[in-house]
Structure 1
Amino acid sequence: MSQISIQAENLSIRFKDRLLFHIPQLSLGPKDAIYLSGDNGVGKTTLLKILSGLQKPTTGQVNLHKQSWLNRFFCGQTQGGVIYMHQTPYMFDGTVFDNVCYGLKFTISNRQQRRNEAIHALRMVGLETLADEHISVLSGGERQRVAMARAWVLKPGVLLMDESSASLDQESIERQVVLAKDLLERGTSLVITSHQKNALTALCRRQWTITKTQLVERADLQLVDEDKNDYAYA
């Protein structure tokens, strides 16, 4: 799979006369695990969408640098990219299996291999027995598990998890953690937003906080008091 680093400069979002945030410089490297925090409305989701290419900033640009471990033709066009997971993930009108397998048809030509990958992912999130059920019968938490499995099978270079653990039970969060750990070991970078610390945010070793239109990076999460040792990310 591919490893991706992201460099961004002079990022800003403005809505009419309101400046949401301005970030002089931002850097995300391979295997980074970053906890993105901040009050409601400060721009966390907007920043993730900019990093994923789903939204254009008012100023600045985002540059992706890819280094592939394997031949690019083996990896395909989708593997090693940037995936954005929303709190309420979009699901296709089909079975649970179809939803997990959808992206694989762009990267794996062999149908049986695609099925094996999808079933393995569903087994890891505890939904293998529901593979042939229509997606509409699943609960919100189960849909988040499907979204995580769908992201995992594509082996992204960067996975942006936007409140993906919100309102989930402990088992669902632990299932997410298993797949997130596996992706980190493979070289994926993670950016995770959450209003509450949990087993998923515990994977993070860096923390970004958006406050007063600025992105602030805190020191190592395991070593310092969160209320101290802040410095502007610039």
Structure 2
Amino acid sequence: MTQISIQAHDLSMRFKDRLLFHIPQLSLGPQEAIYLTGDNGVGKTTLLKILSGLQKPTTGRVNLQNQSWLSRLFRGESKGGVIYMHQTPYMFDGSVFDNVCYGLKFAIKDRRTRRSEVINALRMVGLETLADEHISVLSGGERQRVAMARAWVLKPSVLLMDESSASLDCESIERQVHLTEDLLERGSSLVITSHQQNALTALCRRQWTITNAKLIERADLQLVNEDNNNYAYG
């Protein structure tokens, strides 16, 4: 897996007369897991979309520190990039298998190899028996599992998870944890937003908080009171 560092300077987002945030400097290195917090409306989703390249900031720019990844992107290869996961992921009109396989069509030419990787990803989220079902039969939680499998199978260098564990049961969150741990071991970086601390946010050892239009950082977060499943940082 290609590792990517993200650097941003003088990053700001403004909507008419309202300054959403101004961040003088931001950095995200390989194998880092960051918990992004803040009240509703402070710009968490906007920041993730800027980092993923889906939205342009008012000022500043985001630099991806790996030219080999950029060259692969221009050649149409999708593995090893930056993936943004929305709380309500977009699903294509097709089967569960088709939704997970979509990105692999650009990265893996051999159909048998693609199918093997997709079925393995679906097995890891507990949906392999639904591979040939139409996506419309799945529940909201199952769709989020499909989105996680679709992201994991591409082995992204950076995965931005925007409330992806919201409204999920414990089993679904644990499956997300298993896949994100695997990505971290492979060298990926994670930024996770969640209104509630859980097993997924417990993977993080850095925290970004957006407040008063500023980004405040805490490092070396430690999990405490684990026996009571109380995910609090001190």
TM-score over 0.5 (shorter chain): yes
TM-superposition CA deviations, 1:152-193 (whole Å, max 9, x none)? 010001000000000000000000001000000000000000
Distance 1:154 1:76 in 2: 13
Could you state the TM-score of these two structures normalised by the residue count of structure 2? 0.92
Asked if residue 45 in structure 1 is aligned to residue 77 in structure 2, the reply is no
- Residues 49, 55 of structure 2: 8 Å contact kept: yes
> Distance between the aligned counterparts of 2:180 and 2:68, measured in 1?
20
Q: Distance in 2 between matches of 1:223 and 1:119?
A: 34
Question: 1:80 maps to which residue?
Answer: 80
Quote the residue 1:160 is aligned against: 160
2-side partners of 1:116 and 1:154: how far apart? 13
- The equivalent residue for 1:137 is 137
Question: Share of identical aligned residues, percent?
Answer: 83
Counterpart Cα distance in 2 of 1:198 and 1:226: 11
Q: Kindly indicate whether the alpha-carbon contact (under 8 Å) linking 1:14 and 1:21 is maintained by their aligned counterparts in 2.
A: yes
Contact 2:222-2:233 within 8 A present in 1 as well: no
Q: Tell me which residue corresponds to 1:31.
A: 31
Distance 2:119 2:100 in 1: 9
Matched, 1:170 2:170: yes
SS at match of 2:159: strand
Cα RMSD for the two superposed structures: 2.0
Q: Do the aligned partners of 1:35 and 1:193 also contact (CA within 8 Å) in 2?
A: yes
Contact 2:50–2:56 under 8 Å retained in 1: yes
DSSP-derived class of the 1:84 partner: strand
Gaps of 5+ in 2: 225-231
CA contact (8 A) 1:36 1:209 kept: yes
Deviations 1:107-162 (A, max 9, x none): 00000000000000000000000000000000000000000000001000100000
Query: TM-score of the superposition, structure 1-length normalised?
Result: 0.92
> 1: distance between equivalents of 2:88 and 2:25?
29
Q: How far apart are the structure 2 equivalents of 1:223 and 1:49?
A: 28
- Looking at structure 2, the residues matched to 179 and 31 of structure 1 have their Cα atoms a distance apart, in angstroms, of 14
Alignment-mate amino acid for residue 85 of structure 2:
M
CA distance in 1, matches of 2:99, 2:83: 15
Q: Report if aligned partners of 1:87, 1:166 keep a CA contact under 8 Å in 2.
A: yes
Q: SS at 2:103's partner residue?
A: helix
Which residue number in structure 2 is paired with residue 15 of structure 1?
15
Give the conservation status (yes or no) of the 8 Å contact 1:2–1:67: no
Match status 1:127 vs 2:127: yes
**AA in 1 matched with 2:89:** P
Answering whether residue 211 of structure 2 is matched by residue 211 of structure 1, we say yes
CA distance in structure 2 between the partners assigned to 1:68 and 1:122 by the alignment: 29
| Local SS of the residue matching 1:114 | helix
Alpha-carbon distance in structure 1 between the residues aligned to 2:180 and 2:211: 27
**Paired residues, number:** 225
1:77 Cα deviation from its structure 2 partner: 1.9
The one-letter code of the counterpart of 1:88 is T
SS at match of 2:3: strand
- Alignment-derived partner of residue 232 in structure 1: none
1:60 aligns with 2:60: yes
Q: Secondary structure at the match of 1:2?
A: coil
Q: 2:150: which partner in 1?
A: 150
Letter in 1 for 2:33: A
The answer as to whether partners of 1:3 and 1:67 remain within 8 angstroms in 2 is no
Matched, 1:220 2:232: no
CA distance in 1, matches of 2:221, 2:172: 24
Judged with a 3 Å threshold, the aligned counterparts in structure 2 of structure 1 residues 104 and 146 are, in CA distance, closer, same or farther, namely same
